[in-house]
Amino acid sequence: MSDPWDSGHAAPRQSLSVKAAMEMGTNSTEKFYRIPKGKGPHSVGCTDLMTENAVEGSFLRLYYPSCDTTNNEEAPWIPDKEYYQGLSDFLNMYRVVGERLFQYYVGSVTCPAKSNAAFKPGEKYPLLVFSHGLGAFRTIYSAICIEMASQGFVVAAVEHRDESASATYYCKKKSISEPQEESTSNMEKEWIYYRRLKTGEEERCLRHKQVQQRAQECIKALNLILKINSGEEVMNVLNSNFDWNSLKDSIDTSRIAVMGHSFGGATVIESLSKEIRFRCGIALDAWMLPVGDNIYQNSVQQPLLFINSEKFQWADNILKMKKLGSNDTNKKMITIKGSVHQSFPDFTFVSGEIIGRFFKLKGEIDPNEAIDISNHASLAFLQKHLSLKKDFDKWDSLVDGIGPNVIPDTNIDLSPAEPE
């Protein structure tokens, strides 16, 4: 079970193109599927932040409660064509085919958050740092991040540069010899694409190394937001008209949590073990292979919620989660019935039925219902462990696995195999 996307991506290249072409020809209205809006009381804005010093710097998308605004556009969901190329590599498709398919299907998709909208001042918001899965990047968990921001969180969705994102970039100064563009920008994007395992390379070794870097990137993002909160000037190498000074004194520095999906779930665990300022964590369908053995020796003291899909998990992976939380009532696990590994990222909302089934982007449960269960359980858990004064405790029963389409613990049979 080495591939946490579990998406059938080694499918023959040709058959995918044929299926996709069929779907395009017959049902182009599927293009207009939408990523769900936040259901909380706040409008949501988002903006991108990249600090200097190239690869070692931070790169994140910030989702935040915003002032009601009509003049800001919704943010593009996938902001650069290079992300399509990276996804094509990751999914084993020819880049030229993949780029055209993604462009056709999701090129016009926006996420329901207003780009660079003014930050809503006047209260202190808890901070949530979000870590993406293998082959993903900062923008494709927007349904989760936007819901959290609409409920009053500031969410920093990190884009990891450990070669586990399908694509990412940093900005570097152009060499003098290159002609200056009209925009007179002296920066250019240096792209980093997903790195496949080399022949004979042991996956666990690579993933463990990557998860260490990912945890450091989450901690760096935390430090960066707290720096901005304390009023320090931060240089954003991405030109945007967002006023970072408006965040001053707006983060509740005692209420900070970390959340992530798949490889991001492993990153949550690693981050909790390294950084006590993360008061609790939520791991969505965590992939446990990258987690170091040393972590199981009581190095995660904070409360931790595992939210699993029904179709992705297997005994060895679940046993590792349980090893982490044995005899600790603040470590919880629930499973969402009818869900698949891809019920957490946004692709589940923007894919039509054929592509959705072919790539296992859709489970038997309605995608909106699955994400609601996940978000509501997360909010209830965060209220409890960050001591929030909200009404999220109305969803407490979900954290115990009680309610429609949710089961306590796991659906996986963990009884030892009978000896032959």
- Residues labelled as active-site residues: 262, 285, 341
For 285-322, b/e burial (b = at least 16 CB within 10 A) is bbbbbbbeeebeeeebebbbbbbbbbbbbeeebbebbe
Cα angle at 318 between 333 and 205, to 5 degrees?
Answer: 125
* Residue 213: strand, helix, or coil: helix
- How many residues belong to the chain? 420
Q: Which residues pair with 43 in a beta bridge?
A: 66
What whole-number distance in Å separates Cα of residue 304 and Cα of residue 387? 15
Enter the tokens of residue 62: 């910030």
Nearest to 387 by CA among 231, 281, 255: 255
**Strand 187-193 and strand 406-408: pairing?**
unpaired
Say which DSSP state 133 is in. Answer: -
Distance of CA 280 to the CA centre of its chain: 17
100: which residues sit within 8 A by CB, 6+ positions away?
none
Say which DSSP state 119 is in. Answer: B
CB 398 within 8 A of CB 370: no
